[in-house]
Structure 1
């Protein structure tokens, strides 16, 4: 089986069997729309201290945007904020590579199923689809951080841990 075909299978599997779909209680909620294609996502994030306790979402759009949200859920739930930000940065690097970055073993270890989106990076219009949920997560996290002082220092991630 060719690698591209395997990556397509991973994306389709996450699209057909999404992880984290269905909005649950969260510390912050954002709604993002990709104006170029109409993909939409409403994403909620919940923290326990600096640990990402849950990422839930509802959305509609192409298989790439919806599969990416499912992969994000798999990768970030249960991670400390700092580690999740590193994962997000690595995914962003892959998506901005314009197909010039071939994922190595180290990147595959960090991104797991998210490496399946490597081929998407060749198509700028599709990159926005793949990044939609990741940008929503980043904004929801910023909202949760902004609310942290009101919630108490031990209840939410602090700006120092970001």
Structure 2
């Protein structure tokens, strides 16, 4: 029988080898670049916003399997989300990846509103990075870069 850790590892490896939404988005409304000097990961996030909703999102870059898998999973869960939902998912993911305190009545990450549970569950494979502090920056790079993009972009995010 497959162990949950094995399943999570398979998901990370699959997204790392076959990233979803990989490649530049033509004429994005927002974009930002990210760099992790510790391990050399680089990412560019491309976003097209419509009516305060992430209508399209993609990424390109080079990095380790965790960095690539995290960016790939992020683009999948962020697609068609409002900016408020995206911020809630960011907070949830940050708690998962860093091992920060959880809150709320259900014990979930703060700010994850009803209706986003499935997306939150899809991010669980990346929760194991909290045990490896150097890898947390790999996993969070794309997320911080997306946040910079929707706040105005044009910046380079560094995970130092």
Task: State TM-score, norm by structure 1.
Answer: 0.81
Structure 2, unaligned runs of 5 or more: 110-116, 154-160
Instruction: Work out the CA distance in 1 between the residues paired with 2:144 and 2:108.
Output: 23
Question: Which one is further off, 89-98 or 4-13?
Answer: 89-98
| Equivalent residue pairs, number | 141
- Larger gyration radius, structure 1 or structure 2: 1
Superposed displacement of residue 48, structure 1: 0.4
From the two aligned structures, give the one with the greater helix fraction: 1
Structure 2 SS opposite 1:143: coil
The yes-or-no answer on 1:35 pairing with 2:37 is yes
Task: State TM-score, norm by structure 2.
Answer: 0.81
Instruction: Work out the CA distance in 2 between the residues paired with 1:34 and 1:21.
Output: 19
2:157: which partner in 1? Answer: none
Structure 2 SS opposite 1:83: helix
Runs of 4+ with deviation above 4 angstroms: 104-108
Structure 1, unaligned runs of 5 or more: 145-162
Instruction: Judge conservation of contact 1:21–1:56 (CA < 8 Å) in 2.
Output: yes
Equivalent of 1:70 in 65, 69, 72? 72
Task: Map Cα deviations across residues 30-76 of structure 1 (whole Å, 9 max, x no partner).
Answer: 11110100000011111001110111111101000001010011000
